[in-house]
Chain A
Amino acid sequence: QKEVEQNSGPLSVPEGAIASLNCTYSDRGSQSFFWYRQYSGKSPELIMFIYSNGDKEDGRFTAQLNKASQYVSLLIRDSQPSDSATYLCAVKAGNTPLVFGKGTRLSVIA
């Protein structure tokens, strides 16, 4: 059974701070890692993906991957109230479908 684990939160950060979201996965064969944002009642929206160990930056977002530790994280710099949402970690191995974690609810306090 492939598992993707996330702390459900809520994670509360003040506006302008760095939000750090974490995810672990069980399948060592996982090759592709994705972060989705889901606002309440809406569909998941892809914000970042990472394939290689290390960091990948895109604007205020940085994804970090450590395959040896089976750990992937998302940093959101200069957090804004509009970043308040549930962040879903999703993992993929080869041609198999995306497996999602339950998500971490982020609340950015103005």
Chain B
Amino acid sequence: EPEVTQTPSHQVTQMGQEVILRCVPISNHLYFYWYRQILGQKVEFLVSFYNNEISEKSEIFDDQFSVERPDGSNFTLKIRSTKLEDSAMYFCATGQGANYGYTFGSGTRLTVV
């Protein structure tokens, strides 16, 4: 079964450092998403990406965050200057179409110290 691949699986970074989280979507999926889940809390939407541009973003997705698809296959989330409260599990998800469910990657656990 096709998978969404995320790297790294775990990243520890110092506060104020930049991190880049990477995702390889399922090849025929057109819609890409980043969600995050703080420990013990719900899965929260960050940003959606379609046709090489952001289609929607949440209040969480401020100027410290950016997304891009640098080479037509990878999909990345960059956090420019990490804060302690950015510590969470970050999930990449992809979908075939607007009304379909999403397939989630295995996640990147980001720990900011």
Which A residues between 84 and 99 are near B, CB-CB below 8 angstroms?
Answer: 88, 90, 92, 94-99
B52 to nearest A CB, angstroms? Answer: 16
A44 touches B91 (CB 8 A): yes
Kindly list chain A residues whose C-beta atoms are within 8 Å of the C-beta of B42. 88, 100-103
Kindly list chain A residues whose C-beta atoms are within 8 Å of the C-beta of B65. none
Kindly list chain A residues whose C-beta atoms are within 8 Å of the C-beta of B25. none
B43 touches A100 (CB 8 A): yes
Which B residues between 22 and 47 are near A, CB-CB below 8 angstroms?
Answer: 33, 35, 41-45
Q: Mark B43-69, 1 if CB is under 8 A from A, else 0.
A: 111001000000110000000000000
Interface size class of A (residues with CB under 8 A): 20 to 34
Interface size class of B (residues with CB under 8 A): 20 to 34
CA gap between A104 and B35 in the complex, in Å: 19
A85 to nearest B CB, angstroms? Answer: 14
Q: Mark A11-35, 1 if CB is under 8 A from B, else 0.
A: 0000000000000000000011010
Residue on A with the closest CB to B109? A41
Chain A residues with CB under 8 Å of chain B are 31-32, 34, 36, 42-46, 49, 51, 88, 90, 92, 94-103
Chain B residues with CB under 8 Å of chain A are 33, 35, 41-45, 48, 55-56, 91, 93, 98-99, 101-107
Beyond A98-B93, A100-B42, 19 extra complex contacts between A and B, CB < 8 Å: A32-B99, A34-B101, A42-B107, A43-B91, A43-B106, A44-B43, A44-B91, A46-B103, A49-B101, A51-B99, A88-B43, A96-B56, A97-B45, A97-B48, A100-B35, A100-B44, A100-B45, A101-B42, A102-B42
